[in-house]
Structure 1
């Protein structure tokens, strides 16, 4: 199988793009992408999409993410993490776990978050971190993100360890800085590990060194999109629908029989193998292809 999702446990000190370059080199796949960048300092779940799965990038990035993060209080940097230039030091006040937990609770729910000036967001085609490194930092406006839960794991002054479940687009660096300010002494992100993303977890992941060792055999560990997009309704295709999919023809609501036509749907064959992911366009009264997984040899007999 050359199409699917490979979950990488990214090590520290390497960019997400560099990690993907290693996978592409050892597997010799043609198309590859990832669903959500991890900074070089961060480790953990990097969802790598191979072949036709690259067409699902936008869908996969909509999912929630989970992190274990360490915040070091009393320090502020220009990057909001330990890799940046220190711009301020403050005394850490006496704190206990109740005070810290109370501060964390104030960030649960929908919040407006200002993205870091050192980030991969782009302005007129240029990444913000490049502008910042060239002495031209640009502050993007605040945007709404959702923090589902924040749990205090450990308080060992000056470090706070937390577990965070959040929406896509949340910057944990910015959250760390805001928590430090809430506690009155500033703070930076000093360690970050992504434990879940896009329906995948560390249990699904292969270490990058393991991928290097396996080479092309790591493609045996590809995950079907059906596994990570389990909430999408499924339709079992009959022969007529399967043939239309194989030739990329227009799919109408009537082609789905009695199945629900609103929103997105995964079309599978009788053996629960993915054929396509479609989205209904009510104005056109037809489905658009998000991803067409079919090959000629999937035709039923």
Structure 2
């Protein structure tokens, strides 16, 4: 591995991590905290030994003395770029909340879920076999540019101090419509048409009829036309050859605050169907990217690099650095 320039230690900085699907963002930070707190990259060993005050002891109980934060979480279902800040650089993480991000997401048609993704429960099913790639591409301009997005009623956003999902679960009519958000979709395209050639399936868990009625009651407070009843494929449209729901992959560049799941959900509705997210990858977050294309792009460190270090730190090189520390030195953007 090529030599890297060592800045004055300990260092503060920003770097990109490639999060795997499955764990929460916070669990990854909790795992990294003790590893970073034992490295001379981020903490002066002598000062750490001398630090005996109450505040420092509390930090050690939580995992270590190094300040570590992230510039925008990714849900468990999602993988991809997550920007981390160490030390003084944690103060600069807010810039990544509103920056432009790129995502790849797979939409599975025919089923709407309460969370708008495969982690949730089925809300309703709808026809999908009439949807073609050409129809999807024709509908995309409606979701490109400056648009308004309405968060789902099963979200944790609050209205009059009460989470929206509480209205939905208890059947309390919404006092007013959910306020749309202004977002910008810089680009949106179909990059892969999977059709029925995939292994995805609808969630097994479903809302009960009572739960559906409660959600409808909440929504009827602002829209009497809302219905969450199933509308399966008709006998004329259904064939025995293939009953696998259609899936396709979208790539989009969006502003901060954009709900990728809402784009998938709303697009499917516009096509006369229903749909939800089954894969989601953040391929770039500001200047941090999975696949660098330009000189200004910053590559990210795979999570496996750190995961290996938890159980087997490996041998140190002639300068005293382990593999994960060398990777950090190669990728970190130092903040003075």
Runs of 4+ in 1 over 4 A off after TM superposition: 117-129, 131-140
Is 1:32 matched up with 2:41?
A: no
Question: Which 5+ residue runs of structure 2 have no aligned equivalent?
Answer: 1-9, 38-64, 196-245, 292-298, 311-323
Change (3 A) 1:125 1:47: farther
CA contact (8 A) 1:74 1:186 kept: yes
Of 71, 80, 84, 2:120 maps to 84
Q: Aligned Cα RMSD in Å? A: 2.7
Match in the other structure for 1:23: 32
Of 297, 302, 312, 1:207 maps to 302
Match in the other structure for 1:146: 184
Larger Rg: 2
Match in the other structure for 1:224: 333
Pairing of 1:69-108 with structure 2 (within 5 A): 69-108=105-144
CA contact (8 A) 1:47 1:200 kept: yes
Change (3 A) 1:122 1:31: farther
What is the alpha-carbon distance in structure 1 between the residues aligned to residue 106 and residue 309 of structure 2?
32
Question: Which 5+ residue runs of structure 1 have no aligned equivalent?
Answer: 226-273, 275-292, 294-301
- Give the superposition deviation at 1:133: 10
- Give the superposition deviation at 1:6: 2.3
Count of matched residue pairs: 226
Match in the other structure for 1:197: 285
Q: Greater relative contact order (Cα 8 A, min sep 6): structure 1 or 2?
A: 2
What is the alpha-carbon distance in structure 2 between the residues aligned to residue 13 and residue 127 of structure 1?
25
Per-residue CA shift, 1:231-275, capped at 9, x if unaligned? xxxxxxxxxxxxxxxxxxxxxxxxxxxxxxxxxxxxxxxxxxx6x
What is the alpha-carbon distance in structure 1 between the residues aligned to residue 11 and residue 161 of structure 2?
31
Where 2:22 maps in the other structure, the secondary structure is: coil
Of 17, 22, 28, 1:13 maps to 22
Name the TM-score, length of structure 1 as normaliser: 0.67
Per-residue CA shift, 1:163-212, capped at 9, x if unaligned? 01000001111111001101110110111011000210014222222113
What is the alpha-carbon distance in structure 2 between the residues aligned to residue 93 and residue 42 of structure 1?
27
Change (3 A) 1:128 1:196: farther
CA contact (8 A) 1:62 1:198 kept: no
Looking at secondary structure, tell me which structure has more strand per residue.
1
Per-residue CA shift, 1:126-154, capped at 9, x if unaligned? 9877x589869988521100000001112
- Give the superposition deviation at 1:115: 2.1
Name the TM-score, length of structure 2 as normaliser: 0.61
Change (3 A) 1:195 1:6: same
What is the alpha-carbon distance in structure 1 between the residues aligned to residue 139 and residue 275 of structure 2?
13
